[in-house]
């Protein structure tokens, strides 16, 4: 996976002129998202807004882990479909739990 033009590997990213291993870069992004979740959780916002924001950050983190650490980024389309197909069911489950506790209706 060598780029013939500049000799960089596909497993490196260029950040402000620094050549960084992609896994280190993704780890830093995951760390920043986790710190963002912690600080976001203590903001004086309505519970629904907090829940939606935290779920959005968690989905983003899960996508990064799946794409890079589970190597789904480099897999064929059929495996993508297999990995993404349970997401609607997870959405329905989360919606049912939120409704059960009265955060959406009530």
The band of 67, judged by pLDDT with boundaries at 50, 70 and 90, is confident
| Whole-number pLDDT of residue 9 | 57
Is residue 49 one of the residues assigned to a domain? yes
Is residue 35 one of the residues assigned to a domain? yes
Instruction: Work out the percent of the chain whose per-residue pLDDT is above 70.
Output: 82
| Whole-number pLDDT of residue 2 | 47
Is residue 29 one of the residues assigned to a domain? yes
Show the domain range for 93.
21-100
Is residue 5 one of the residues assigned to a domain? no
Is residue 41 one of the residues assigned to a domain? yes
Region 95-103: what's the mean pLDDT?
76
| Whole-number pLDDT of residue 103 | 58
Cα radius of gyration rounded to whole Å, the chain: 18
Q: How far from 103 is each of 19, 59, 90, CA to CA, in Å? A: 45, 20, 18
The single-letter DSSP state of residue 44 is -
Q: How many domains does the chain have?
A: 1
Is residue 3 one of the residues assigned to a domain? no
Region 49-53: what's the mean pLDDT?
89
Instruction: Work out the percent of the chain whose per-residue pLDDT is above 90.
Output: 33
Residues 33, 70, 39, CA angle at the centre, nearest 5°? Answer: 10
Q: Are 103 and 57 in contact (CB under 8 A)?
A: no
Is residue 63 one of the residues assigned to a domain? yes
């Amino acid at each position: 996976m060598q780029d013939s033009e500049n000799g960089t590997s596909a497993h490196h990213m260029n950040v402000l002129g620094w050549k960084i291993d992609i896994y280190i870069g993704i780890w830093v992004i995951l760390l920043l998202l986790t710190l963002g979740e912690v600080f976001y959780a203590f903001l004086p916002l309505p519970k629904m807004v907090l829940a939606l924001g935290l779920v959005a950050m968690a989905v983003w983190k899960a996508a990064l882990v799946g794409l890079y650490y589970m190597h789904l980024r480099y897999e064929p389309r059929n495996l993508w479909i297999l990995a993404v197909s349970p997401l609607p069911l997870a959405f329905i489950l989360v919606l049912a739990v939120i409704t059960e506790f009265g955060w959406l209706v009530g």
